[in-house]
Amino acid sequence: MVQLKEFRIVMPMSLEEYQVAQMYMVMKMQQQSTNGDEGVEVLENKRFQDDVFGKGQYTSKVYRLQSKAPAWLTTIAPKDALVMQEEAWNAYPRCKTVIKCPYFTKFSLTIETVHRADNGTSENVHGLNEEQLAARQVEIIDIASAETDYWSYAIGSSSFDFPKFKSTKSGRGPLLDGWQDNCRPVMTAYKLVTIDASYWGFGYRLEQALLAGERALFIESHRNCFGWIDEWFGLTMQQIRELEQQGDCLLNEKISKLVLLTDATDCEQRFTHSSERQIDKD
């Protein structure tokens, strides 16, 4: 069953500021999560132009974050198979990201993002049809919330205390109850997540786990966007692009060039055996 969920992340900054903040955040978080065995490898980072998005930046990356997978997932797949390939088309204020796993050939995850200068009150910014709207779930994320769960710990929980936080450079903060309605400037990232893992007896659980993981990543990354405001505030897009190029080179120096597992037959056998064992238990 395909899962369709829209996350709305309200941010205390302008659309122009968010573009810089988001790029800085991605660059810094990738550096923090990358070592010799795990992390992010940038395969391509180039300008693109097409009939769908117009002009923008295309990136192709490989994510090796096996240690963050739930224990139950590693019972049906080897850890070194839990590697993700990501393609992204960033034509800000519209973006699209497609994530696949070579080992799980029936799995796909798509994130379509629209950024607007509002506080999360726009409806159907993605232009969904009636059937899609009926299936869609909506969640508004508050970056000032201190809520934690398994995925927040797995991805990394930032220590910012936004009800007490105040930016030195911008003077923004603290984020008190109801800040979304009173903050200026303000903008929202509308992220529509579509997940499909068509595996009998297992797919729904995988879809739910990945939705929870994406939610935690959205929270952590956007908390960092604001928490690091004094590091990126005042930077230009040209400066960010230069930092990004330097960061890509550092990433590829840090991470090993591991071979991706793409044995679909082995994958199917593992799922079959896992399902049979579950039936025997039931």
| Separation CA 177–CA 182 (nearest Å) | 10
Cis peptide before 163 (omega within 30 of 0): no
In a domain, 45, yes or no: yes
| Separation CA 209–CA 202 (nearest Å) | 11
Domain residues for the domain of 32 are 3-260
At residue 67, the pLDDT reads 66
Q: Are 233 and 14 in contact (CB under 8 A)?
A: no
Please give the helix or strand (H or E) that residue 116 lies within, else none.
strand 107-116
Q: How far apart are the first and last CA of the chain?
A: 22
At residue 275, the pLDDT reads 42
- Quote the number of domains for the chain: 1
In a domain, 270, yes or no: no
In order along its 282 residues, the chain shows pLDDT tens digits of 689 999 999 999 999 999 999 999 999 998 888 876 778 888 999 999 999 899 999 999 998 866 666 666 666 677 666 788 999 999 999 999 999 988 788 889 999 999 999 999 999 999 999 999 999 999 999 999 877 665 666 666 678 999 999 999 999 999 999 999 999 999 999 999 999 988 777 778 878 888 888 998 999 999 999 999 999 999 999 999 999 888 888 777 776 544 333 344 444 444 444 444 443 444
Enumerate helices (H) and strands (E) in the chain, giving the number of each.
8, 8
At residue 240, the pLDDT reads 93
| Separation CA 278–CA 273 (nearest Å) | 9
List the CATH number of the domain containing 157: 3.30.530.20
In a domain, 281, yes or no: no
In a domain, 34, yes or no: yes
Q: What angle do CA 90, 95, 100 make, to 5 degrees?
A: 95
In a domain, 64, yes or no: yes
| Separation CA 156–CA 67 (nearest Å) | 12
| Separation CA 25–CA 108 (nearest Å) | 25
In a domain, 29, yes or no: yes
In a domain, 187, yes or no: yes
Q: Give the pair of three-digit tokens for residue 215.
A: 């939610």
Helices (H), the chain: 15-33, 130-135, 150-155, 179-182, 203-227, 229-232, 237-254, 264-281
At residue 39, the pLDDT reads 80
Nearest Cα residue to 157 out of 212, 216, 229: 216
In a domain, 191, yes or no: yes
Nearest Cα residue to 68 out of 158, 151, 148: 151
At residue 72, the pLDDT reads 61
| Separation CA 187–CA 114 (nearest Å) | 11
